[in-house]
Amino acid sequence: MNKLLVTLAATTALSAPAWAQDLEVDELTFGFIKLTDMAPLAVAYEQGYFFDEGLFVTLEAQANWKVLLDGVIDGTLDGAHMLAGQPIAATIGYGTQANIVTPFSMDLNGNGITVSNEVWDMMRPHISSREDGLPEHPISAAALKPVIEDFASRGEPFNMGMVFPVSTHNYELRYWLASGGIHPGFYSPENTSGQIGAEAFLSVTPPPQMPATLEAGTIHGYCVGEPWNQQAVAMGIGVPVITDYEIWRNNPEKVFGMTEEFVEANPNTTQAVVRAMIRAAMWLDENENANRLEAVEILSRPEYVGADADVIAASMTGTFEYEKGDVREVPDFNVFFRYNATYPYYSDAVWYLTQMRRWGQIAEPQTDAWFDEVARSVYRPDIYLAAARSLVDQGLADEADFPWDSDGYRPATPESDIIDGVVYDGRTPNAYIDSLTIGLKSGQTVVGDQVVN
């Protein structure tokens, strides 16, 4: 047995990258939530990319986003598939304070907004139709406004689910509602419900529980990642009315988060993790998504997402089903590597901060320089590019696939790429906030249940 172990060790040493022998730690535990966009972690494990780096990784599903965040902070988890808002919120002390950084962005797009069959039937008369009778997309939240007014006239609150207060889903749902003239409510330091002045009442529901909560009538709609919108279609209990790709084309989604303490203490290990995940993202998108069916099979396993393969494939393979039978081509619904999806742009972090400020989670006005400073403290393109450079040098990635000369800011979002036509430029966050119709403006705060200047 000892001879076998020595032989295996020698073989591993020969097959691993030369610098992998300098890993500060090689046994790691990463957390995730059962969503399609955890795919880079599952693929990096199943395709052996972690092992290629000399890493012995355990992947553990977490009960909810708070449990996951607490695990990263207390060191139970060495890193995790995270909501993009979590490292940002923790760093600025909204909720639990902790310095968490993001050396890798996990994906673009991947979410949807679903309503119950009852609500869809009420919305449908307010939505125009194509020549074939199917609804025109994208669907504006203006079609939901008369439904909410009808609920209010009966004294019934219109409840919607989102996955966490600092989730993309919360901000996307709020963005869509506000773009259609529906107020989703404010936060204040004294009232963190997010329902101050709300017309639609948003609350937290864990992603896998969304369909059942909708079916029970506790909520009338929700915003969540896949496969839980397609699951509502499969169950016959709801209709996805819009994808986040239609709200903001190629919007940033999940990130991979680690504590700053871990990253600073283990730079070689961190870079090895990022190398493995870049390779996984490349595999997921290569050859026009040729590997997606294999990825679907992996994700359908109970240790990962655990949903039926057909449900996962409904969005993962370049299509999306709205009503039963209304299947449309959406090749970029899930993007893992194209369009520099894995690069941690400062401008992505700034957008999340603008939405936190817009809805009162950041209570006081901040300067443009503050937004930039926070973004730079959380998002770490330096780590990402070092990992990418080593992959290119070893012939494992193409030079042209990485934004070497980026200053960390994407070009301004064109009017045509966002549902309300409001241009987003991460370099001028306060001007952007002021250009949005509903939400706090410069100098405004929420006091009690009132907005004051």
Express each pLDDT in 44-66 by its tens digit.
Answer: 999 999 999 999 999 999 999 99
Return d(Cα 379, Cα 368) in angstroms, integer. Answer: 17
* CATH class given for the domain over 111-250+437-452: alpha beta
CB atoms within 10 A of CB 145: 18
Query: What is the pLDDT at residue 442?
Result: 87
Contact 374, 102 (CB under 8 A): no
Domain residue spans of the chain: 2-108+252-401, 111-250+437-452
CA angle 150, 151, 157 (to 5 degrees): 155
- Give strand pairing partners of 334: 109
The whole model's pTM is what? 0.94
Distance of alpha carbon 367 from the chain centroid: 26
Give domain 2-108+252-401's CATH number out of 1.20.1440.230, 3.30.1180.20, 3.40.190.10, 3.10.20.30: 3.40.190.10
- Which residue, among 326, 361, 354, 320, has the nearest Cα to 423 in the 3D structure? 354
Same fold, 2-108+252-401 and 111-250+437-452: yes
Q: What does DSSP say about strands 108-109 and 319-321: parallel, antiparallel, or unpaired? A: unpaired
Express each pLDDT in 310-364 by its tens digit.
Answer: 999 999 999 999 999 999 999 999 999 999 999 999 999 999 999 999 999 999 9
Distances (CA, A) of 377 to 198, 260, 296: 33, 9, 35
Return d(Cα 63, Cα 375) in angstroms, integer. Answer: 28
Q: Average pLDDT for consecutive 10-residue bins of the chain (453 residues)?
A: 37 45 93 97 98 98 95 98 98 95 98 98 98 97 98 97 96 98 97 97 95 98 96 97 97 97 98 98 97 98 96 94 94 96 98 98 97 98 98 98 97 96 98 97 93 92
Contacts of 187 by beta carbon, 8 Å cutoff, 6+ apart: 165, 193, 194, 196, 359, 360, 361, 446
